[in-house]
A and B are shown apart, each in its own frame.
Chain A
């Protein structure tokens, strides 16, 4: 308890520490937001709650890490992870997800939980259970007399995440397929009547989601650590963000992603690094409770 109070005290005595925590939190939060956007996409278009979201992220990270071990430039890992995970997502869609759409929500939740276990265990068997990361050969920038260090690798990660997100958003707005996806999300039956092959749209959406996650994972492995069993925390973070922001609310997803990144870093600073995962999960419960309180209020209005 004294340690916790001391850590809080530190934040007020040295305001610069806040800057460092915020910078770290916002950088990692940008990646959470990307993965959460993929979840919101699948959730909104085909009403599938994907609990394997985080494992796609980790799988993408391992693809990139493995390529870097083989001597490829690490930045090339991002597009390759995108393509590889696109294929994984397409196969999973054809084998499992296509048979889950339209059934009760618990079915999709459990089926994707099964997929999550499989991916985590396969990664564990192939790559072992050690934490891995890629060290990029770039300098670190220092601000505030060296109190705040920003590795250039992290900046590159943030820029790539922003590029990825912008690319996906522009694609959804402008392209023919993006329009078809949005039409299917609004009303699948009407979309079918209008000649849209919704089956193709679903397959495309799910593959796109897992590809986005894979690319996000390839960025994460450059700025943070990955481990086969870290996936579930990323899934839960994605759920927190989507539940907090609501579906189809892109600014909300970005804001919630950045906010969760920052809150987690603060939690880790105040309570110790061992509590970081716990903070992520407790945030989920908090968000669910706030949503619940809002619903209760709505219900009273209806009465």
Chain B
């Protein structure tokens, strides 16, 4: 009963938010993007113990795949990128929306395939080597794409703007992100309740033992990462059309921005919990946007400091702190001292 009410309020809030806060539509859409990347990072990072620093690779790759698919529906990609968004190319409504739809699907599938290939290579690496290896993949991809003239090189790609009213476009992208975010949340909520989720947690707790119990760990790791990559790829595809223009190093493969933010979001909220990434993403985004204007250029330094402070002093996050203070909220029973004393006897 209580839960139904909570979810009802949240869904209603999601739907009316862009209408009661018209000035913050893009901000709210970005908040949903943070929730999506945080939730998907937690699938491997929190639930499976594989801390990737390279999930941003799927975001950037999703952007590029969606842009290339979207453009190639109407024009030759090489000609289009040569013109560098010169404005001579027009897209019909059908081409534009078809581009978003097909581009998103293609981006998701392509990123999932990339995750399987990269994962097959890197999942043999444990602990920090996995983190550094995936970070290397993301940085290398950014550098290679910025030298690839077919997709615009370091200049990036300019995509068509939303056909029709400017404000309707903002609402359109807000609901694309919100819809994807809700889908991801429902999906991971279901996933963590299945045997698959239990196997992921087993891999996190002790990989050797999990393997000894007959869990094919590599297969589970690959599937889990491919699912995460699928959603991040779609999020990247939507971002590509929302941002209109993007370039490889600062927007698509933004290793030190979004790539590290998603980790901080999860740590702030609480690693390995369902609600932690959501709470963390909202907290982080609000903190970032509220302080951004008052720090006068020092905002990036403040964000670096926030990362350090979160990691060093507050690693269990909000959910971990709540679990410590209010275990009964999570259905955990605290053993009485007398009971344990009797057990000793």
Contact = CB atoms under 8 A, between A and B. Distances in A.
9 contacts: A99-B313, A114-B308, A121-B304, A125-B301, A236-B132, A272-B147, A281-B136, A281-B143, A284-B132
A285 B301 contact: no
Contacts of A200: none
Contacts of B255: 232
B287 interface: no
Contacts of A110: 260, 263, 267, 307, 311
A124 to B, nearest CB: 8
Contacts of A296: 124
A113 interface: yes
B12 interface: no
B98 interface: no
Interface residue SS majority, chain A: helix
A255 to B, nearest CB: 21
A285 B133 contact: yes
Contacts of A49: 128, 132
B139 A292 contact: no
A39 to B, nearest CB: 12
Given A284-B132, A284-B133, A106 B127 contact: yes
Contacts of B146: 274
Interface of A: 49, 96, 99-100, 104-111, 113-118, 120-122, 124-125, 232, 236, 239, 243, 272, 274-275, 277-278, 281-282, 284-285, 288-289, 291-292, 295-296
B308 A96 contact: yes
A113 B264 CA distance: 11
Nearest to A292: B124
B93 to A, nearest CB: 38
Given A125-B297, A278-B147, A114 B131 contact: no
Given A239-B132, A272-B147, A285 B137 contact: yes
Contacts, number: 111
A281 B139 contact: yes
Interface residues of B, number: 39
A203 to B, nearest CB: 16
Contact of B125 (A106, A115, A292): A292
B129 interface: yes
Given A105-B128, A236-B136, A285-B133, A277 B143 contact: yes
The 6 closest A-B pairs by CB, nearest first: A114-B307, A118-B304, A278-B143, A117-B304, A114-B308, A121-B300
B196 interface: no
A114 B304 contact: yes
B256 interface: yes
